[in-house]
């Protein structure tokens, strides 16, 4: 689910949830550029020529490919020269989640009574929280909270965080943009996801709560509920194992 909200002139978030891939992107920069960057990033992961990663090296390559495509589009369109995007993506393969991440969108794992933030935000304020200069609460309203330290589409190579984890039946994955995490605490996200009967109900409830908290940003959420038979399969249906 993705909501533009009432403040931003357009929705520069994008998302995908199909086959074995889940991803969110939060674009930025120049006239319509954010929208273009977010969509280019997702297309680079999902179009016909995109390999479906079965390992961490392939996740990194997929992100580098997305980065290259955004830079190529920037170079040939002056109005998009400042564009970039966050990208957080999860591929579910052979009972594992392979995760790639750049920027301040997030992936969470809800397992039992706990919610764990799997990704680290690449933002100025997140670094200040990690080194003890700011509290989480101070970071939430800090004037530099939207300033990223890493994004796809910028100058030079992009450094990609890549990780994988073994999934269990009953696990719930949450991918979201900062429009959600800017208005809801992680514990509240966990409570809503645990209390929801379906992924769609969870996504709707989270987006609704963010809007009630008067989120000033676009809000995007992708949810997956992992079931036993998702973990047995070598490859999910509809995905060519080659």
Provide the phi-psi class of 108: left if phi over 0, else alpha when psi is between -120 and 50, else beta. beta
Q: Which region among 39-47, 107-115, 161-169, 177-185 touches Mn ion (by CB under 5 A)?
A: 177-185
Q: Which region among 43-51, 127-135, 178-186, 206-214 touches Mn ion (by CB under 5 A)?
A: 178-186
Contact (Cβ atoms closer than 8 angstroms) between residue 14 and residue 27: yes
Nearer to Mn ion, 52 or 220 (CB): 220
Query: Using CA atoms, how far apart are residues 107 and 104, in angstroms rounded to an integer?
Result: 10
Q: Which residues contact 40 (CB under 8 A, 6 or more apart)?
A: 66, 69, 70, 73, 85
Tell me the closest approach of the beta carbon of residue 222 to Mn ion, in angstroms.
Answer: 14
Tell me the closest approach of the beta carbon of residue 218 to Mn ion, in angstroms.
Answer: 6
Determine which residue in the list 20, 26, 35, 171 makes contact with Mn ion, applying CB under 5 A.
Answer: 26
Strand, coil or helix: 176? strand
Tell me the closest approach of the beta carbon of residue 143 to Mn ion, in angstroms.
Answer: 16
Distance of CA 92 to the CA centre of its chain: 15
Q: Is 178 in the site for Mn ion (CB under 5 A)?
A: yes
Q: Which region among 46-54, 75-83, 128-136, 210-218 touches Mn ion (by CB under 5 A)?
A: 210-218
Contacts with Mn ion, residue ranges (CB under 5 A)? 26, 177-179, 217
């Amino acid at each position: 689910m993705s909501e533009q909200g009432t403040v931003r002139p357009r929705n520069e978030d994008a998302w995908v949830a199909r086959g074995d891939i889940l991803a969110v992107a939060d674009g930025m920069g120049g006239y319509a550029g954010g929208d273009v960057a977010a969509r280019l990033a997702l297309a680079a992961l999902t179009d016909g020529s995109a390999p479906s990663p079965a390992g961490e090296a392939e996740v990194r390559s997929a992100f580098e490919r997305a980065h290259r495509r955004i830079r190529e589009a920037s170079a040939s369109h002056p109005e998009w020269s400042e564009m970039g995007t966050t990208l957080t993506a999860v591929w579910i393969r052979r009972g594992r989640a392979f995760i790639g991440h750049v920027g301040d969108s997030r992936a969470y794992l809800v397992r039992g009574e706990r919610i764990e933030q799997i990704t680290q935000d690449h933002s100025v304020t997140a670094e200040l929280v990690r080194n003890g200069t700011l509290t989480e609460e101070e970071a939430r309203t800090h004037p530099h909270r939207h300033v990223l330290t890493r994004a796809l589409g910028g100058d030079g190579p992009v450094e990609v965080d890549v990780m994988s984890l073994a999934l269990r039946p009953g696990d719930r994955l949450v991918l979201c943009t900062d429009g959600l995490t800017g208005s809801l605490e992680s514990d509240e996200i966990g409570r809503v996801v645990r209390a929801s009967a379906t992924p769609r109900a969870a996504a709707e409830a989270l987006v609704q709560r963010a809007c009630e908290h008067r989120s000033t940003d676009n809000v995007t959420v992708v949810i997956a509920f992992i079931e036993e038979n998702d973990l047995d399969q070598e490859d999910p249906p509809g995905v060519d194992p080659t």
